[in-house]
Amino acid sequence: MNILSLKSQKEFDRVNERGSKIHGSCFILVVSTKIIHDELAASNPTMLGMKVSRKFSKKAVVRNKAKRRIRHLTQLLVKNSDINTDNKSIIVIPKRGFENYDFSKLTADFFRAVAKLC
């Protein structure tokens, strides 16, 4: 149940190259099954990256709310025993209006999308 973050542009590029994309109703997911760091292979972490730019919203408060929601969705996903997220890298790109969706709808859509890719 370890969640680490993708930090450099090089890591994001590797996930984008190797990963599969799926479009949800309010976000885009890119999931790659290959681990980025070989030294972390023993702990099987889930790597999370977020792309929430100013194009999403000009207001920092709205962008930060979206980031908090994405982190919480990922924590719920990792705690869920039905979907195996070990050794996966996930990039989440929210679409406009993401912050207005009900959290239960977001959770169901997020779980459905990740289950398709895993």
- 59-103 confidence digits (pLDDT tens): 999 999 999 999 999 999 888 878 888 888 899 999 998 989 999
Picking from 91, 99, 97, the residue whose alpha carbon sits closest to that of residue 5 is: 91
Could you tell me the domains of the chain?
3-117 (3.30.230.10)
> Residue 22: beta bridge partners?
29
pTM across the whole model: 0.86
Q: Are 41 and 83 in contact (CB under 8 A)?
A: no
Picking from 99, 90, 101, the residue whose alpha carbon sits closest to that of residue 67 is: 99
> Residue 49: beta bridge partners?
91
User: Dihedral of CA 54/58/61/63: which sign?
Assistant: negative
Q: 46 falls in which pLDDT band (50, 70, 90)?
A: confident
Detail the DSSP E strand segments found in the chain.
Answer: 3-5, 20-23, 27-32, 46-50, 88-94
Average pLDDT, the chain: 87
